[in-house]
Amino acid sequence: MSRIVALITKEFLALLRDPRSRFVIILPPIIQLIVFGYAATYDVTDVPFAVYNECPGDQSRELLARFEGSPYFRHVATLTHEEQMAPLVDRRDVLLVLHVGPQFDRQLNTGGVARLQAIVDGRNSNTALIVLGYVQDIVTNFNLQRAGRGGVPAVPVRLEIRSWFNPNLVSRWFFVPGIVGLLTLVVTMLVTALSVAREREQGTFDQLLVTPYRPWEILVGKAVPGMVIGTLEASFITAMAVWWFRVPFNGSLVTLYVGLELFILSAIGVGLMISSLSVTQQQALLGAFLFLVPAIILSGFATPIANMVPLVQKATVVNPMRYFIVIVRGVFLEGTPAHLLYDQFWPMALIAAFCLTAAAFLFRRRLY
């Protein structure tokens, strides 16, 4: 036991006394947390739009005033000719052009159907859809109010929307819990992927292998710093999510930490496996990124796994992050109890067991 303590102490010292690895552990997570917390969002606000109003009536003015008054829109240009529309959109000066025809008021007042033309920049389809949704909301409200004033037949079905778990559909609530998984994965991978490779490169691994340590003891020595640092990192980000970004935390901490430790173990397994296959730190770093990028993209962190092609969906079963994302979002927003997350726990345990065993086996293997 005292031998393993000596090994773990050494691993911590080697990690924390090296200014470069200290930097890797501390700075990137903070920067990424700030960047993702503030920058990564699906919310579209402050949409620049132009108006081309050919109708001098007050109905059209009232409708357009609703856009100007909306917090989502910003009126940046008023057009007088049709030809002015295209260049504005092309230059990305506006995302939306509203065109009111000359007959708008007359058609409304005679009980007819008036048309409002909305021209949207469709280059980013996601944004265009959201903008159109806003336009539709405003037009619907306009119609309802007119119907309320009487004279015009009311709309037969009125939609009442309640969004559960995230009533205002704040996308930060969706992203920030995911960051817990993302940053924990990155830091744990870097700490472990470099550990064996660094020793190989500097020749100290041979020195370690001639001591009486058995492979599993070396494995424990290498895994513990990753566990501790990964857990601390995840705890810090969770705290920031709750108290800084104000994301509601509805579930149990125990459930979160059970999932977290399984997740970290599987990340350590993958990291150590990459490390014991590498001869130099450069190879290990490359290997780690080769794993990290697809692991993040195919985890459901930003885009739902259900939207991916079936083959890729199947491939994600070996990605530990995919399971943890479900757990962390569930615990934060839904308060999912542990027994509903068993299906997320056991695959991570399996990945961890496989990778750690393989890593221990690979320690003694030499790249002849």
Partner 1 sequence: MMSTATPLADSRPAAPAEALVLDSVTKRFSAAGREVVALHDVSLQLTPGTITGLIGPDGAGKTTLMRLAAGLLWPDEGTVHVFGLDMRHHGHQVQASLGYMPQRFGLYEDLTVQENLDLYADLQGVPHAARTARYRELMRMTGLAPFTSRLAGRLSGGMKQKLGLACTLVHPPGLLLLDEPTVGVDPVSRRELWQIVDRFVREEGTTVLLSTAYLDEAERCDDLIILYEGRLLGQGKPDVFERPLEGRTFKVRLQREHHNRSLEQKLSTLPEVVDAVIQGDAVRIVLREPSAVEAIHRALDPLGVVDIEAVPPRFEDAFVSMLGTRGRQDADKPDHDNSSETATDGTQPPRSTADVDLRIPTTDDTRPVIEVRDVKRRFGDFYAVKGVTFDVARGEVFGLLGANGAGKTTTFRMLCGLLPASEGRLVVAGIDVRRTAAAARARIGYMSQKFSLYGTLSVAQNLRFFSGAYGLRGRRRAARIRWAMEQFQLTSVANSNSGALPLGYKQRLALACALMHEPEILFLDEPTSGVDPLARREFWHRINALAARGVTVLVTTHFMEEAEYCDRLAIMVEGEILALGTPSQIKERARTAERPEPIMEDAFITLIQSRREQPARSGEAKREA
- Residues near partner 1 (CB under 8 A): 2-3, 5-7, 9-10, 13-14, 17-18, 202-204, 206-214, 366, 368
Q: Give the 3-state secondary structure of 122-185.
A: CCCHHHHHHHHHHHHHHHHHHHHHHHHCCCCCCCCCCCCCCCCCCCCCCHHHHHHHHHHHHHHH
From residue 237, give the alpha-carbon distance in Å to each of 90, 128, 247, 336, 349: 41, 32, 12, 20, 23
Least distance between partner 1 and beta carbon 205 (Å): 8
The residue among 109 and 211 lying less far from partner 1, judged by its C-beta, is 211
Distance CA 144, CA 137 (A): 11
Least distance between partner 1 and beta carbon 1 (Å): 10
Q: Which residues contact 94 (CB under 8 A, 6 or more apart)?
A: 48, 49, 50, 76, 77, 88, 121
The DSSP symbol for 298 reads T
Residue labelled with tokens 């002849």: 368
The residue among 136 and 202 lying less far from partner 1, judged by its C-beta, is 202
The residue among 207 and 280 lying less far from partner 1, judged by its C-beta, is 207
The DSSP symbol for 310 reads H
And the tokens for 108? 């409304």
Q: How many residues does the chain have?
A: 368
The residue among 151 and 212 lying less far from partner 1, judged by its C-beta, is 212
The residue among 8 and 147 lying less far from partner 1, judged by its C-beta, is 8
Amino acid at 49: F
The residue among 13 and 30 lying less far from partner 1, judged by its C-beta, is 13
Spell out the alpha helix ranges (H) of 203-252: 204-209, 215-243
Least distance between partner 1 and beta carbon 39 (Å): 35
DSSP 9-28: HHHHHHHHSSHHHHHHHHHH
The residue among 111 and 203 lying less far from partner 1, judged by its C-beta, is 203
Least distance between partner 1 and beta carbon 214 (Å): 5
